[in-house]
Structure 1
Amino acid sequence: MRYRTRAIALLIPILSPPLLWAQNVPLSWDFDEVWRAGGLHASDWAQFTWRGQVAFDGSGNLYVVDLEAHHIVKVGPDGSLVTTVGREGEGPGEFGWIIDLIVWPDGSFVVSDLGRNGLQLFSANGRFDRMVRWRPATGQMDLSANMSRVMRPGPSPGVLYAQGADASLGRMFGAMAELMGTEPEEESADERMIEALDLADDVVAGETVLEAWRPPRPDSANPEIELGDLASMMSIIAEAPVFEPELLWDALPGGAIAYADSSTYTIRIARDGAVLKTLTRPIAPRPLTPAIESRAREEMQRMANPDSSAEVLEVPGFDFAAAQREARAALIGAYGDMTFYPEVPVIAEIRATPDGFVWVRRQDPVNEDNDGLIDVFDPEGNYVGTFPKEGLRMPSAFGPGGLVAYWETDDMDIPSIVVYRLPENLRR
C-alpha cells in the first residue's frame, strides 16, 4: 500500500491540469520614476484632457497624441518639451481626429487621421513629408476598414506591420460598396493576417508576412448580409464565437513578430515566414463551463440595455427613440445567437520592448487571482517572472533603456503622463 501511495503521488503532477502546476517568480512594480508631465498645474503644452496614444523613438523621446489640441507633443528624455507637430485643419500636416500614431526608432513617424483615406508621414524633425493613400480593398470601404487595423513600426522607417481588418466588418462594408456601385480593385488581408505595408510610393503597398491559424467555424457562420434588414446587419456580431482566440501580436526589433493565435499558452517568434523560437508556460486554458457562459451572456445583455435615463436625441422628422428600440432588439437577438468557443484562451495581450523582452498579460474568468497577471520573457525566450495584478499595469509604451510610459490620473481625474525606468533584470 505504501508503494502504491507513492506511485499515485508521483503521477498526480502528470495527470493534473498544468494550470495547477505553474509556479510564478514574483516581480515588483517598484519602478524608478524618470519624469512626469500633466496634472492640474501643468505647463500649457502638458494640459492634457484625454489619454491619447503615446510612443517612444530610439533616443528616448516620447510622442504624445493630444486629441484636444489636435497635435503631437514631442517630449525629450528629461521630460522637457521638444516641439509640437500639427494643428487642426485639412491641409498637409494638419489633423482632424488622430486615430493612430506609429513612431520609428529614428524619430520619423506616421499619423492615421479619421476623415483622410491615407497616412501622413513626418520626418524626425517633425516636418510634414507627404501623404500616402490606402489602396482600395475588396469588400471594404477603405476608411472604415483601415481605421480599425492594429499597426506597429516595421523593421525600417517607411515600413509598417499591420493586422488586417475584421473580415465580418469587411463583408458588411463590401455590401455597402456594392450598393453604391463601387468596384474595388484587390483582395485585402483579414484579422488573421499581418502585412508589411510599404509607404515608399503614393499608395500603400502591402505584402503578407504572417498568416495565423484559423479556428474552424461551421459554414453557416457567415450568412449573407442584407443591408435593409437591421437584424441581418447585427448578425455579424455573432459570427465569431465568444472566447474564440484572436490573433495577438507585437513587433520585435529586427523585424521579428511575437504572436499567439490559439487558446493555449504558446507565443511564437517568427521572421520571414520561419518560427525562430516558442515561448510557453505550463498554464492550460479554462474549459468553458455553464457558469462562465452565463456570466458572459449577462454582460452582453447589460451592454444591449444601457441606462434608460439617458437623453434621447431629437431629430425633426425622425423617430430616434423608435430606431434605438429597433437597434436594441436586433442587438439582443444577435447576442442570443452567440455561440461559444469550448475553452477560454490563456493570453489576453502581448507587448514587446525595443530590446527584445516580451510581456504577456493573462486572463482567467474563474480565478481572479490569475486574471491580469503579466509574465515577462527575456530576449532569449527565458521566463523572467510575473507581475501581480495589483499595482501598475501593462505600459502604454515601451522605450529604449527600459523606459516605460503610463497615463495616470489624480483625484480630479486629470491625466498626467509618467515615465519610469525598469529594473536591470527587465532591460538590456
Structure 2
Amino acid sequence: MVTRAFTPYTEAADMTRVCLQKFVSATFALQLAATALQAQELIELPGRDRLIDPDFEEVYRVGVLEGESWEMFGEVNKVAFDAEGNLYVFDGTMGLMGSGNLRVLVFDGAGGFRHQFGSWGGGPGEFNRPVGFAVLRDGTTVVSDVGHRAYQLFDASGTFQRMVRTGDDPGTVSASATIRPDPRGAAVFAGGFGGGPDISFRTASGAGGAAVPASRPITRVALDGEVVEADTVVQGWLPRRADMDDLTPNVPAELREMLGRMSMPTLFEPRLLVGVLPDGGIVHSDSSAYVLKVTPPGARAPQRIIRRPFLPEPLTPSLWSDFEERRAARREGRGGGPPGPRILEVRGRSEGGGTPVTGSFQLEQRYYHEVPVLRTLATTWDGRIWVQRR
C-alpha cells in the first residue's frame, strides 16, 4: 500500500486518508474566527460551489510493496498529523477480537521515517484491544484501549507515558472507538461519530429498566488525572431508531433483555459529523440538511449556525436500487459474493454454571426516508473546516 501527501494536507488534522483522489462530491472550505458569541448567529452561505482542482502537488510518498518493514504497510486503519506536520500511520489489525499486530509509524514533514512504536500484550504500554486513536498538537498519541479499560498516552518520541483509566463501574463503556484531539491538549473528544454507523446502547434507568437514548452526546474526556473525567459538551440530534427486538422478532425470551438495550441505525441515517476548533469549540452536523452547528467552549448549545441551500434527496426506489447495485459491485470487486441477509449472533450469560444461550438471527434492513447532503467533515489545527457533500 502506498500513502501520498499533498501540500494542502501536510498540516491537516485527523483526515482519514492522505492519498487524495479526485473528488466525486463538491468540497467546501471556510475559516472560523475563534470569537466569543453571545447569541445564536445564523450565517447563510450561497449555493454556488467553489470547486477545488484535484491536481495537487505531491510532497512525498511513503509505502512500498517490497522494502524495509517500516515502509511496507499491511492494513492502514487511520492517519493523522500533529501541528508540526509529522504524519502518524496506524497500521495493522485492531479491534475487539483481542489479537493483532497494530503499530504506529511516524514520518516527518518531508516523508522521512522517524520511528515506530506499539506491541501487543497485557502490560502498560502494550496494546490489548485498541479501538480508537488521536494525535494531539504536540505529537502525543492517545490510544483508546478497551482491553485495558483505559486510554494509553505516548509522547512524540513514541515512549509510553501512562494509562488513564476509564473507571471501575462495570456498567460503563470502557473506551470510545472514535476520538478527536483537543487542540488545547490533555484531552480528547469522544462520541458516536466517525467513519460509519454505530450501535447505540441504552443506559440503565433504575428498577431494572432501560432508558432509550434521546441524543448522540459529544463528550470531552480529560486525561490529566489517573481516571478520566468526562463532560458532555454537545448533544447531537438522534434520529428515531428501531429496537433490536423489533428487527429480530424470532429471538427467544432469554435474550430479549440484552437486545432491549440496543438499537441499530437505519441505512442513510444522518451521521453525527464532528470537528474540533482551535479553542476547543465543536462544529458538528447531525441532520440530513446542509447545516453546521458551532458550539464555543462552555456554551453547551450551538451559538452559530452555518447553512447552505442544499436539501436532502428523498429516497426513491431508483436511488435504493442504484445503491444496492453499487454495494454488490464493491463486494464482487473485493472477491466477495452478492450481499446476503444481515445476521446477528448473540451469546447470553449462563446462570448457575449452565450452558449460555446462543443464537443467530436475521436482521431486517430498514432505510431512512432521505439521503443526507453531507458526507464528511474535518478541521485543521488553524481552524479551517472542510466539508464534503454529495
| Same fold, TM-score > 0.5, yes or no | yes
1:193 aligned onto 2:229 = no
Q: What CA distance in whole angstroms lies between the structure 1 residues aligned with 2:155 and 2:192?
A: 26
Quickly say closer, same or farther: Cα 1:126–1:191, change in 2 above 3 A: farther
> Which residue of 2 is the match for residue 45 of structure 1?
70
2:273 to 232, 245, 248: 248
Q: What CA distance in whole angstroms lies between the structure 2 residues aligned with 1:238 and 1:92?
A: 34
CA-based RMSD of the aligned residues comes to: 3.9
Secondary structure at the residue paired with 1:292?
helix
8 Å CA contact retained: 1:62, 1:74: yes
1:66 to 70, 91, 96: 91
Compute the displacement of 1:105 (Å). Answer: 0.7
- Give the residue type in structure 1 aligned to 2:84: S
8 Å CA contact retained: 1:164, 1:191: no
> Which residue of 1 is the match for residue 201 of structure 2?
170
More strand by share: 2
> Which residue of 2 is the match for residue 303 of structure 1?
339
Quickly say closer, same or farther: Cα 1:210–1:136, change in 2 above 3 A: farther
Secondary structure at the residue paired with 1:304?
coil
2:116 to 81, 84, 97: 84
Quickly say closer, same or farther: Cα 1:297–1:221, change in 2 above 3 A: farther
Q: What CA distance in whole angstroms lies between the structure 2 residues aligned with 1:351 and 1:59?
A: 18
**Once the two structures are superposed, what CA deviation does each residue of 1:150-185 show, in whole Å capped at 9, x if it has no partner?**
2100142221111159885424x979xx9xxxx9xx
8 Å CA contact retained: 1:189, 1:208: no
More helix by share: 1
> Which residue of 2 is the match for residue 10 of structure 1?
none
Q: Which of 243-252 and 260-269 deviates more? A: 243-252
8 Å CA contact retained: 2:142, 2:151: yes
Secondary structure at the residue paired with 1:275?
coil
1:152 aligned onto 2:180 = yes
8 Å CA contact retained: 2:200, 2:262: no
**Once the two structures are superposed, what CA deviation does each residue of 1:27-56 show, in whole Å capped at 9, x if it has no partner?**
111112121111124333212122232111
User: Equivalent residues in 2 for 1:316-395 (5 A)?
Assistant: 327=360, 330-331=361-362, 333-335=363-365, 338=366, 340-363=367-390
Compute the displacement of 1:297 (Å). Answer: 7.2
Q: What CA distance in whole angstroms lies between the structure 2 residues aligned with 1:267 and 1:111?
A: 28
Compute the displacement of 1:250 (Å). Answer: 1.6
1:291 aligned onto 2:327 = no
> Which residue of 2 is the match for residue 419 of structure 1?
none
> Which residue of 1 is the match for residue 306 of structure 2?
279
Identity of aligned residues (%): 32
Quickly say closer, same or farther: Cα 1:241–1:76, change in 2 above 3 A: closer
Compute the displacement of 1:236 (Å). Answer: 8.2
8 Å CA contact retained: 1:108, 1:124: yes
Compute the displacement of 1:274 (Å). Answer: 4.8
Larger radius of gyration: 1
8 Å CA contact retained: 2:244, 2:262: no
Quickly say closer, same or farther: Cα 1:167–1:205, change in 2 above 3 A: farther
- Give the residue type in structure 2 aligned to 1:30: D
Secondary structure at the residue paired with 1:303?
coil
Count the aligned residue pairs: 303
5+ unaligned residues in a row in structure 2: which ranges? Answer: 1-45, 94-100, 329-336, 343-357
Compute the displacement of 1:239 (Å). Answer: 4.8
Q: What CA distance in whole angstroms lies between the structure 2 residues aligned with 1:263 and 1:292?
A: 16
8 Å CA contact retained: 1:234, 1:334: no
8 Å CA contact retained: 2:245, 2:259: no
Quickly say closer, same or farther: Cα 1:204–1:42, change in 2 above 3 A: same
1:129 to 152, 157, 161: 161
8 Å CA contact retained: 1:164, 1:195: no
- TM-score, scaled relative to structure 1: 0.60
Quickly say closer, same or farther: Cα 1:266–1:87, change in 2 above 3 A: same
> Which residue of 1 is the match for residue 97 of structure 2?
none
- Give the residue type in structure 1 aligned to 2:315: L
> Which residue of 1 is the match for residue 12 of structure 2?
none
Q: What CA distance in whole angstroms lies between the structure 2 residues aligned with 1:239 and 1:349?
A: 21
Compute the displacement of 1:268 (Å). Answer: 1.5
8 Å CA contact retained: 2:103, 2:118: yes
User: Equivalent residues in 2 for 1:88-127 (5 A)?
Assistant: 88-113=120-145, 115-127=147-159
Quickly say closer, same or farther: Cα 1:93–1:285, change in 2 above 3 A: same
Q: What CA distance in whole angstroms lies between the structure 2 residues aligned with 1:204 and 1:189?
A: 22
Quickly say closer, same or farther: Cα 1:131–1:52, change in 2 above 3 A: same
Q: What CA distance in whole angstroms lies between the structure 2 residues aligned with 1:354 and 1:161?
A: 15
1:202 to 209, 220, 226: 226
Q: What CA distance in whole angstroms lies between the structure 2 residues aligned with 1:292 and 1:137?
A: 45
Compute the displacement of 1:131 (Å). Answer: 0.9
Compute the displacement of 1:288 (Å). Answer: 2.7
Q: What CA distance in whole angstroms lies between the structure 2 residues aligned with 1:244 and 1:303?
A: 20
Compute the displacement of 1:243 (Å). Answer: 2.7
5+ unaligned residues in a row in structure 1: which ranges? Answer: 1-20, 307-322, 364-428
8 Å CA contact retained: 1:284, 1:346: yes
Q: What CA distance in whole angstroms lies between the structure 2 residues aligned with 1:155 and 1:49?
A: 30
Secondary structure at the residue paired with 1:28?
coil
